[in-house]
Structure 1
């Protein structure tokens, strides 16, 4: 006998929805009550509810909602919510093996393992192809170092070096050698992550070429008073390094800068603090830009560095630009930062200057060595690149306590104007080109374009820079 189908009344539907809403409300009130007396910030709670490669929530020895719950007692705390970097903090008996494996022994932690690449471009497959993957294993009580079984020894191998300071494990990998990427993907995030330890932290570096470590050793030394451990070349002598606290991965805030409101422990610190560290690390003498008085500097000539590029986005008339700047009262220096050259030498040149002028590109990243109050003049090529340029260098310059002038070139100042007919989509519809993806944008506007500056038009930007130098000290 077939079952009789009865229509569901609208009252029944409304009643069901009301009951469902009531259940949700009760659950929310209960969860709020669980945390009402806990000193756990919302940022920490967002870390607990991890998303991404590790789907499980890792909260460790205390039940979620316990009044004794605290971040410092959580053995595993991961944040996979950022679009740029994954970060995991491990506390307890943490052992770093030379084969890119980290083992956390904790008697009450949930047994699990996962893999991650500790680099600041987690969704960039080209960058991650040069990043070594790290395996993390959380061992249970059966893996106590006092046990001698083969399984236990594999889970928690014996320590060959015990340290009381914490450690930060990260990869240089990616686009190493490009100054912008070195700072944006590695060094500024490392500063954000390690600054709170006041120098008492071990830096465990993977995928770093010797030249990279030499280039940035002063800055790394400014972040840690311990010798850098090169994990890719056996600086640990094949041993097992043991720490009470390990951070795997680097915290990322924004392009080449720091969000002071998000910094952890030891008070707020900013991009200005990073640039001060950079100047101190490389022994640079100038902390403030020149004091300009009167029209044209009042007898004092501000020093202007014109960044010269040779391969792409190059000034085709650098000499004309230099002469125009000199006529306005600047002492002009033309320089090109070499890819792997002595960074300390070029940093001294940058620090000696009060204005930095360059086409959008990695050379402008050297702004971190400028004295406070100096001016960055960014020349932005065609291609609708203004927003990207402002994010990459404009905002970091301001965050660092510098002044910023944004100069968008006219079509006639681009070599693309002679390369393509006037109605070509590269000139007429940059948005359509950008919609095809990063590689199309790069090919059309970043690799295939040089700049021939209209010096009369550009003189306005140079005068603005001079005026900003004057304003810098008028407000002191």
Structure 2
């Protein structure tokens, strides 16, 4: 049945893709237009209003706030964005988003000194030095009078990200979108709002299972010392298995069952990066003791369905590359 299902996947070129790898975690007020507002609970509805996120202060924050009032001392504003590697901005406070021109405004509290406004322009993580890539502007203002008025307020954090025109195959979708989004938003345990600068309904539909798992409101490696909260590849793997309701792993000893062969999924792309000697590759793998199934994925494949197919294999093989 697995072979039949895998072979039924039609031949089609899978477009290359990449994600704008910056994420803005907004834990306060924000405004957003219809170009930004994407709720993971209703992945295909767009809002025509601007949004503002409100973050309820914790008891610790209130206590610190009272202490600042007592001391009556001004605090210097720290940098909001880090553009040394991937562009990443983390804002807590009065934050407002204007979707019409992809601009994020931060209004510092009265006790923070900000004599001169600051500005950052963030681009795609992997191609941020290319001028043709669109960017989001982050501005730190002097005070509320310089910020656009809020029309709608939310009391959950928000993550702002962009879907590039080049996304389209599972490798790039996961490596450039899903994994970075998981690393940024998993800590909120579903209480987070996703804001996408360029809505692509087909992507939201394709990965609706994962997006709804991450948000209740609408080289694959992960280094534990880099992502927030120290998430690992194992954590992401368990998250995906839970999202797609995959059965629990059951180790198989092929020494104890020599008649059972390890299964190899051979991914053969439709046009570019296609294996011209596919028959020889299959024969060589079979001589090594594998049960080989050739799969030719298509862009609009059902990820829930293919996830179950992939889970039934012991190894994957294919040619990686854009184009």
Structure 1 partner of 2:273: 313
Q: What is the deviation of 1:319? A: 2.9
Answer yes or no: is 1:271 the counterpart of 2:240: no
Higher CA-based Rg: 1
Which structure is richer in relative contact order (CA contacts within 8 A, separation 6 or more)?
2
Q: What is the deviation of 1:343? A: 2.0
Aligned positions, number:
251
Structure 2 partner of 1:117: 122
With over 3 angstroms needed to count, the CA separation of the structure-2 counterparts of 1:264 and 1:313, relative to structure 1, is closer
Q: What is the deviation of 1:86? A: 1.0
Residue deviations 1:75-133, cap 9 Å, x none?
75221111xx21111111111222222222223352524242353224352xx6354x3
Q: What is the deviation of 1:203? A: 1.4
Structure 1: runs of 5+ lacking an equivalent: 1-60, 144-151, 228-254, 363-446, 448-476
Which of these residues, 159, 162, 165, is aligned with residue 151 of structure 2?
Answer: 159
- How far apart in 1 are the matches of 2:194 and 2:261? 42
Q: What is the deviation of 1:208? A: 3.6
TM-score (norm 1): 0.47
* Structure 1 segments of 4+ aligned residues over 4 angstroms from their partners: 73-76
Task: Tell me, yes or no, if the aligned pair for 2:264 and 2:313 is still in contact at 8 Å.
Answer: yes
Task: Tell me, yes or no, if the aligned pair for 1:118 and 1:169 is still in contact at 8 Å.
Answer: no
Q: What is the deviation of 1:190? A: 1.7
Which of these residues, 188, 206, 210, is aligned with residue 215 of structure 1?
Answer: 206
Q: What is the deviation of 1:300? A: 1.9
With over 3 angstroms needed to count, the CA separation of the structure-2 counterparts of 1:325 and 1:122, relative to structure 1, is closer
Residue deviations 1:32-59, cap 9 Å, x none?
xxxxxxxxxxxxxxxxxxxxxxxxxxxx
- How far apart in 2 are the matches of 1:286 and 1:301? 20
Which of the pair is proportionally richer in strand?
Answer: 2
With over 3 angstroms needed to count, the CA separation of the structure-2 counterparts of 1:115 and 1:78, relative to structure 1, is closer
Structure 2 partner of 1:129: 132
- How far apart in 2 are the matches of 1:208 and 1:331? 41
Structure 1 partner of 2:58: none
CA RMSD in angstroms comes to 3.2
With over 3 angstroms needed to count, the CA separation of the structure-2 counterparts of 1:120 and 1:331, relative to structure 1, is same
Which of these residues, 299, 310, 334, is aligned with residue 294 of structure 2?
Answer: 334
- How far apart in 1 are the matches of 2:315 and 2:173? 22
Which of the pair is proportionally richer in helix?
Answer: 1
